[in-house]
Amino acid sequence: MSTIATRVASGVAVLTLAFATVASSGPPAAADATRPAAPMSVLPQGGSSARSVDALTIGAAQVSAARVSLDKATKQRKKKSSKGARALAFAKRQLGDRYRYGGTGPNAWDCSGLTRGAWTHAGKRIPRTSQGQARSGKRVSKSKLRKGDLVFFYSGKSHVGIYAGKGRVIHASRPGKPVAYIKIKHMPYAGARRPA
């Protein structure tokens, strides 16, 4: 953002110089209605006024290109984060559902069935098992977790939950326990992945 601000300030300075140059040259002569205006190609191209206009045009183009680049990056970030948010929202709606080994919904889940269902709902298909899910997507460090990321536990990555923020995941843990929140620190952390 500081680069954009610098370029805008530079453009304003050039514009000020261009106006000062035009103002100091005096009022324009009256136009002759019987003669067509000279095309741009034959107008004088030298001098500080022309250089000022050229610099202003280049500065404006650079600011415009930087804005387009920033808008594109922002849209990509929003698209990625919105998929994670949709996956998490799906998992939240399953809170209280019962655990069933091999369960893939709609009312009973195992751990990887829940995470797969959530990400399928968000528009991204991921492998069925926790070990398969641990090999897909982008590896994420614990300090960079975002809502919707997959968080794995135990040495064989045999358990997975969906990151819900504030150091918690939503998971389907074991028979007799419904889908619920749990703090990451209560299980042996084994890594995280971002499917999209």
List of domains in the chain: 89-194 (3.90.1720.10)
Sequence-ordered strand ranges (E) for the chain: 98-99, 108-109, 138-139, 150-153, 159-165, 168-171, 180-183, 189-194
In 3-state terms, what secondary structure has residue 100?
Answer: coil
**Per-residue pLDDT of the chain in tens (196 residues, 90 and over written 9):** 455 555 555 555 545 544 554 455 555 455 555 555 555 454 455 555 556 556 566 666 676 666 766 666 656 655 556 999 999 999 999 999 999 999 999 999 999 999 999 999 999 999 999 999 999 999 999 999 999 999 999 999 999 999 999 999 999 999 999 999 999 999 999 999 999 9
Nearest Cα to Cα of residue 160 among 142, 187, 137, 140: 187
Q: Are strands 138-139 and 189-194 parallel, antiparallel or unpaired?
A: antiparallel
Q: Specify the pLDDT at position 107.
A: 95
Matching residue, tokens 């005096």: 26
Amino acid 89: pLDDT: 98
- How far apart are alpha carbons 97 and 109 in whole angstroms? 7
Q: Which residues are catalytic?
A: 111, 159, 171
CA gap 108, 172 in Å, rounded? 9
User: Under a CB-based contact definition with an 8 Å cutoff, are residues 139 and 191 in contact?
Assistant: yes
Task: Give the CA diameter of the chain.
Answer: 95
Residue 100 near residue 107 (C-beta atoms within 8 A): no
The pTM score is 0.62
The confidence score (pLDDT) of residue 133 equals 98
